[in-house]
Amino acid sequence: MSGLANFPDFSEAFLGRLALLRFKPKPGIAGRGAGEHLVRKGGASVEFADFRTYTWGDDFRLIDWNSYARLDRPFVKVYRDEEGITIHFLLDCSNSMDWGSPNKLAYSLRLIAALGFIACSGYNWVKFQSLPDGYSYPEKRGRYQIPSFFDFLSGIRSQGQCHLNREISRYAELNPRPSLIFLISDALDPLGVEGGIKRLLARGHQVIFMHILAPEEFQLEYGGDLELEDREWGTKVEVTLEEQTVKVFQETFERWRASLRSFCLAHQIPYLFVPSSLSCEELILKRFPMAGILR
């Protein structure tokens, strides 16, 4: 598989375990064509789900005549069908993401490659969009898409400044069909990301927010007098990293992260704080199933 050359540390054992995983979309995420996710629908299928009252236009062949004989009211059978879902990857490609050790952008692309492998293995539709707009991968599906998807991801680079709320809101307007969306960002925007996420939710999307930060961004050490520069916006500030300064920073950081976590909890959004030093294997194979994202 030629695309795998772009991610040489994906071992056969790791890919084999990924191929067995499946996403757990919430009810309301529409299926499209054959796949491996159970979706409630009417019609002949693989698994009976429930009854509902017959309405004009239903296929009369689905009427349960035994129930009609007992209750003198027509009911139709509802089944579950195995269909593919659409999985969108929204990646913050601003300059602030192209930083850290390990590099946040490189880490995020590796993560998306692994998640895309799971999606394609389950015959789901996969779509990618960078924030800001610059890199797009149109909706495609099937295992044969894996090499081209990996090749596409390997060519992505950072793109300068990004107003996250504006870019996410615009994406919501252009993509009204409810889907499963992975939003991957460091959230280092003075105006935040909450407004854009609300627009996605208003469209009926299921959002999973992955908050990516490099260890250096939240584990400060005393370092004397420094000039710090915002990699994305270019602003500079002179600081003295004394014990009290580091303490204030850590308290401020924890309040910021807690506010994002509280926002996601209030809107029933899985929030995963992901240091770029965390292995993708640990994140996907252990933390995702615990969070109810994968089964």
- CATH architecture for segment(s) 2-28+85-290: 3-Layer(aba) Sandwich (3.40)
Residue 285 pLDDT level (bands cut at 50, 70, 90): very high
User: In this model, does residue 41 exceed pLDDT 60?
Assistant: no
Dihedral sign of CA atoms 35, 282, 180, 175 in order: negative
Q: How many CB atoms lie within 10 A of CB 268?
A: 10
pLDDT tens across 215-228, in order? Answer: 999 988 777 787 87
The first and second tokens of residue 91, run together, are 């990646």
What mean pLDDT value characterizes the chain?
Answer: 86
pLDDT digits (tens, 9 = 90+) for 94-124: 999 999 999 999 999 999 999 999 999 888 8
Site of tokens 């054992």: 13
Q: Is the pLDDT of residue 49 over 60?
A: no
Residues 146-175: tens digit of each pLDDT: 999 999 999 999 998 999 999 999 999 999
What is the predicted pLDDT for the residue at 242? 86
Which residues of the chain are in CATH 3.40.50.410 domains? 2-28+85-290
Higher-pLDDT residue of 247, 42? 247
Cβ atoms < 10 Å from Cβ of 39: 21
Cis peptide before 8 (omega within 30 of 0): no
Predicted model pTM: 0.82
Q: Report whether 154 contacts 6 (CB < 8 A).
A: yes
| Amino acid of residue 88 | H
